[in-house]
Structure 1
Amino acid sequence: MKKIIALAAVATVATFSVPAAFAETSQSVREVTEEAAPVAKLNAGQMLYSNGARLAPIYRVNAEGNPQIILSGKLVTVPASTISSVGGKVTTSLTKKEVASAK
């Protein structure tokens, strides 16, 4: 009987300490992610890349901070939330097809 009580006590303590371990892990992951994908400074004339390939030069940056490019003769706004700096290049996480279908 004493073994069961001891086992129940250990299980109870483990149950309450596990969420704290997960909180520390997700905080660490968040910090690493923020460091790995720095926000790029956007200026007109900078080349915008997608999947390592040149997409188009940034035509302008609108008031919300979204870069706008001219792609296939059409002014396209790329969401700033998809922009990061990869190897010193302004890169979007969207594919060329996704950017072309954006408004």
Structure 2
Amino acid sequence: MRKFLVAATAALFVVGAPVAVLAQAPAAAPALTTGKMIYTSAGQRLAPVYRVNAAGDAQIILNGKLVTIPASTLSEAEGKLTTSLSRKEVSQAR
């Protein structure tokens, strides 16, 4: 009987582990790929992704400058990569 209880308890831990991991997982990050267009929340086109840095932030070339858009401001809406920043805020970023 004791072996059964140990096995049943172990099985519950193994089965319950993925559920706990899934519950703690953050929202899925948008797929950042080179060349994908970034839009403002107002629907204006900004620029295509030039590259993705090591931190996962998107970098674009805007008005001849390399601008980094933080990944925390990016989301995917209706298949479009959208930032919560305005065009003015992006152009003032470094």
Q: Provide TM-score, normalisation by structure 1.
A: 0.62
The equivalent residue for 1:85 is 76
The equivalent residue for 2:35 is 45
Task: Note the C-alpha offset of 1:53.
Answer: 1.3
The equivalent residue for 1:76 is 67
- Cα distance in structure 1, aligned partners of 2:77 and 2:65: 26
Identical-residue share of aligned pairs (%) = 57
Alpha-carbon RMSD across the aligned residues, in angstroms, is: 1.4
- Cα distance in structure 1, aligned partners of 2:35 and 2:75: 16
The equivalent residue for 1:100 is 91
Unaligned runs of 5+ residues in structure 2 are 1-25
Question: 4+ runs of 1 displaced by more than 2 Å?
Answer: none
Task: Note the C-alpha offset of 1:39.
Answer: 2.8
What do the CA deviations read for 1:12-62 (whole angstroms, capped 9, x no partner)?
xxxxxxxxxxxxxxxxxxxxxx87xx5311011000000211110000000
The equivalent residue for 2:6 is none
The equivalent residue for 2:46 is 55
Unaligned runs of 5+ residues in structure 1 are 1-33
Q: Provide TM-score, normalisation by structure 2.
A: 0.68
How do residues 19-34 of structure 1 correspond to structure 2 at under 5 angstroms? none
What do the CA deviations read for 1:33-92 (whole angstroms, capped 9, x no partner)?
x87xx5311011000000211110000000000000000000000010000001110000
The structure with more radius of gyration = 1
Aligned pairs, number: 68
